């Protein structure tokens, strides 16, 4: 890469790494509760510096020069394209507003945590109103692409090329095909036994098991750490420092297990970004592709009998008292059980996408419609009753359950649902080349990891989702694999 471009990329990576570390310290580290406002100021200053660097005359001149003299190198070309797009996104926003927004985002998280602890939406709603208003304003500065609404632009920010038009079709299909199954499954709850999953298991032993499990799946402990936080997540400085968190419950051992498997899926993606794209704007991966990897590990791999066949005897050895009398088949059936519930992160595979659909419909009303922040809890509860037949008793298990809006991440949720569908599509394509079940039964996942490295992980966010999917699967985005996968699984499990 040319030196001046490399220098810009390195400096931007440094600002971004500092932001990641502050975030980590707030969410999983030792930052005290009262630190939030002052820390927000520091984060704001760094964001301002990064903003100034991205929009400086020197940078603009450099990028224009790169665009006029394109390189033959795919990575370099993609970096320039990405930096130019980023510049175009923010160049219309006044610097003071950009900094104020970053500060607000940093403060939002703290306010949300308090409100959630107190189960009281009114403690969060003032800052949420500000976040919504500022997001509207900031996204309003960007030149609107033909035919797109404000919310379309916000969706496009996270997942290029997926707008309300496509999402309406996608969620429409899920509603038609899967809601009837959800209803039938709710009525046949006694078919799958799950009582043993709430048996008490020591947290120390859980920690040990999860540490080994992550490594078994392909997590490299020399390039990553596992910590704890209320809401599990993955973050990274680069492909040699990838951090995940999980959350342990004494009486719900599978919560930590599947959080760990999920975040490990994210982490393996990041650890296997090629050296050429790590610490560049192409590192990581698009939201939906990222989520496809975590959900593939969590669900398609992590809840399959083939996966547990070699793992379960070791699990039983550690938790003999609790699981000695539970067979492999009973355990696998239990971890696949479905039941409409209130909390997205604890929800089963079948109902998961409807949690996302509810958030999508609400966000759309907030930004393209006339829904006010104050009416969010009421509409939230209404939609849960309508689609899933359950109603939250308080805001903590309702509208306050997710962290995203506190960080100004509006338009992000749909990537979760897209990620599930993409996971199924990639899994189907991988199955044509790799004996997935055979690999899982043998206890050696390397052929699976190698396939994913080759087709997905190495590229990070270098290729747009639609192109990556086409290259990897030979097909455009096609949610029918996801729908079929869920139908097959749940019709069999619940004898529908
Ligand atoms: Zn995830």
pLDDT in tens, 198-225: 999 999 999 999 999 999 999 999 999 9
Ligand 1 centre to CA of 346 (Å) is: 12
pLDDT tens, position by position, 107-118: 898 899 899 999
The distance of Cα 236 from the centroid of its chain, to the nearest Å, equals 14
Give me the phi and psi of 283, to 5 degrees please. -65, 165
Ligand 1 centre to CA of 267 (Å) is: 10
Residue 27 above 90 pLDDT?
A: no
Ligand 1 centre to CA of 6 (Å) is: 30
The catalytic residue among 76, 113, 263, 363 is: 263
* DSSP reduced 3-state for 117: helix
Band the pLDDT of 192: cuts 50, 70, 90. very high
Average of pLDDT values for 311-317?
A: 98
182 burial (CB, 10 Å; 0-12 / 13-18 / 19+) is buried
pLDDT tens, position by position, 355-385: 999 999 999 999 999 999 999 999 999 999 9
Owner of token pair 């107190």: 118
Average of pLDDT values for 443-464?
A: 97
Give me the phi and psi of 78, to 5 degrees please. -65, -35
Check residue 168 and give its pLDDT. Answer: 96
Q: Whole-structure pTM over 0.85, yes or no?
A: yes
Check residue 155 and give its pLDDT. Answer: 95
Residue 261 above 80 pLDDT?
A: yes
Ligand 1 centre to CA of 106 (Å) is: 21
Cβ 214 vs Cβ 206: under 8 Å: no
Cβ 294 vs Cβ 419: under 8 Å: yes
Ligand 1 centre to CA of 90 (Å) is: 27
Check residue 26 and give its pLDDT. Answer: 84
Ligand 1 centre to CA of 469 (Å) is: 19
* DSSP reduced 3-state for 235: strand
Cβ 198 vs Cβ 278: under 8 Å: no
For the chain, report the end-to-end CA distance as a whole number of angstroms.
Answer: 58
- Residue length of the chain: 496
Distances from the Cα of 77 to the Cαs of 85, 159, 323, 407, in angstroms?
A: 12, 20, 54, 31
Whether 263 is catalytic is yes
Average of pLDDT values for 63-79?
A: 96
> How many angstroms separate the CA atoms of 112 and 108, rounded?
6
E strands, 333-416, in order: none
* Nearest CA-CA partner of 257 in 191, 321, 323: 323
| H or E element in which residue 236 lies | strand 234-238
69 burial (CB, 10 Å; 0-12 / 13-18 / 19+) is exposed
Q: Which residue has the higher pLDDT, 360 or 33?
A: 360
* Nearest CA-CA partner of 401 in 339, 347, 340: 347
DSSP label at residue 101: H
Strands 241-246 and 224-228: parallel
pLDDT tens, position by position, 409-447: 999 999 999 999 999 999 999 999 999 999 999 999 999
- Side-by-side strand order, sheet with 241-246: 224-228, 241-246, 234-238
Distances from the Cα of 112 to the Cαs of 22, 106, 128, 462, in angstroms?
A: 17, 11, 9, 33
> How many angstroms separate the CA atoms of 248 and 226, rounded?
12
> How many angstroms separate the CA atoms of 378 and 410, rounded?
19
Ligand 1 centre to CA of 320 (Å) is: 31
Ligand 1 centre to CA of 293 (Å) is: 8
* Nearest CA-CA partner of 170 in 474, 472, 480: 480
Helix segments in 119-250, DSSP class H: 125-141, 150-158, 164-187, 203-217
Could you tell me the maximum CA-CA distance found in the chain, to the nearest angstrom?
Answer: 69
Q: Which residue has the higher pLDDT, 26 or 477?
A: 477
* Nearest CA-CA partner of 490 in 370, 326, 340, 361: 340
Ligand 1 centre to CA of 255 (Å) is: 14
pLDDT tens, position by position, 238-253: 999 999 999 999 999 9
User: What is the SS3 assignment for 350-375?
Assistant: HHHHHHHHHHHHHHHHHHCCCCCHHH
């Amino acid at each position: 890469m040319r030196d001046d471009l490399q220098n810009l990329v390195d400096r931007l990576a440094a600002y971004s790494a500092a932001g990641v570390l502050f975030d980590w310290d707030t969410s999983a580290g030792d930052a005290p509760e009262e630190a939030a406002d002052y820390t927000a100021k520091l984060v704001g200053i760094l964001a301002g510096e990064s903003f100034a660097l991205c929009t400086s005359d020197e940078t603009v001149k450099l990028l224009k020069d790169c665009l006029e003299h394109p390189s033959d190198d795919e990575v370099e070309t993609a970096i320039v394209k990405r930096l130019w797009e980023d510049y175009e996104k923010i160049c219309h926003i006044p610097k003071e507003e950009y900094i104020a927004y970053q500060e607000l985002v940093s403060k939002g998280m703290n306010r949300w945590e308090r409100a959630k602890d107190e189960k009281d939406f009114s403690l969060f709603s003032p800052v949420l109103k500000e976040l919504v208003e500022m997001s509207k304003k900031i996204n309003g500065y960007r030149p609107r692409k033909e035919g797109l609404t404000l919310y379309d632009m916000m969706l496009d920010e996270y997942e290029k090329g997926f707008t309300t038009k496509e999402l309406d079709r996608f969620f429409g299909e899920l509603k038609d095909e899967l809601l009837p199954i959800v209803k039938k499954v709710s009525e046949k709850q006694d078919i799958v036994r799950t009582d043993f999953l709430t048996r008490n298991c020591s947290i120390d032993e859980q920690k040990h098991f999860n540490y080994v499990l992550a490594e078994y799946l392909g997590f490299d402990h020399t390039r990553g750490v596992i910590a704890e936080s209320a809401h599990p997540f993955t973050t990274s400085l680069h492909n040699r420092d990838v951090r995940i968190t999980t959350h342990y419950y004494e009486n719900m051992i599978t919560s930590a297990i599947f959080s760990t498997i999920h975040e490990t899926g994210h982490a393996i993606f990041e650890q296997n970004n090629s050296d050429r794209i790590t610490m560049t704007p192409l590192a990581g991966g698009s939201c939906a592709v990222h989520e496809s990897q975590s959900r593939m590990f969590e669900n398609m791999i992590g809840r399959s009998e083939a996966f547990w066949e070699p793992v379960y005897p070791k699990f039983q050895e550690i938790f003999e008292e609790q699981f000695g009398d539970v067979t492999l088949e009973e355990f696998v059936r239990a971890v696949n059980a479905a039941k409409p519930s209130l909390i997205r992160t604890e929800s089963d595979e079948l109902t998961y996408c409807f949690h996302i659909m509810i958030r999508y419909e609400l966000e759309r009303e907030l930004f393209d419609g006339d829904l006010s922040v104050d009416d969010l809890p009421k509409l939230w509860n209404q939609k849960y009753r309508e689609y899933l037949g359950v109603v939250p008793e308080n805001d903590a298990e309702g509208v306050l359950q997710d962290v995203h809006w506190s960080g100004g991440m509006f338009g992000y949720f749909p990537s979760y649902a897209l990620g599930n569908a993409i996971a199924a599509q990639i899994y189907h394509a991988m199955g044509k080349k790799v004996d997935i079940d055979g690999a899982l039964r043998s206890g050696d996942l390397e052929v699976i990891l190698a396939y994913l490295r080759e087709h997905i992980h190495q590229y990070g966010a270098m290729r747009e989702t639609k192109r990556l999917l086409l290259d990897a699967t030979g097909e455009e985005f096609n949610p029918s694999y996801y729908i079929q996968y869920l139908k097959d699984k749940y019709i069999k499990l619940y004898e529908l």
